[in-house]
Amino acid sequence: MKKSFTVVFALTLMSIAGFAQGRDSYFGKTTVNAGGLDIAVQSFRNTVPMVALENRSGRPARCSATFSNGLQFSDTRSVTVAAGKRATVGTAINYITAKVDIDVKCA
């Protein structure tokens, strides 16, 4: 009885700790190469990792965002953001991961 209680208690604590860690540290680092344009970048977590791009320059910008987690996965999404407009790109992840790095490049 005591052994089964200890196992259940330990699994409960690990679940709570994993949930708390995953929510707060989902993203790794976000790097931005705006290519000389005035691009505002904001990364955030919804149900999938996403990045919002706001083009503050006077011409359209072609941007790509690469979402990666080391060797496990890498996915690139591209979008053209008109001058003065905003676009959001994201990618679905089929499994739980602790960190997702985002590399944004615009031209």
Q: What is the pLDDT of residues 18-40, one digit of tens each?
A: 444 444 445 688 899 999 999 99
Report how far residue 40's alpha carbon sits from residue 90's, in angstroms, rounded to the nearest whole number. 16
State the CATH number of the domain containing residue 55.
2.60.40.3230
In a domain, 14, yes or no: no
Range of the domain at 90: 27-106
pLDDT in tens, 49-72: 889 999 999 999 999 999 988 777
Report how far residue 84's alpha carbon sits from residue 107's, in angstroms, rounded to the nearest whole number. 15
Count of structural domains within the chain: 1
In a domain, 3, yes or no: no
In a domain, 15, yes or no: no
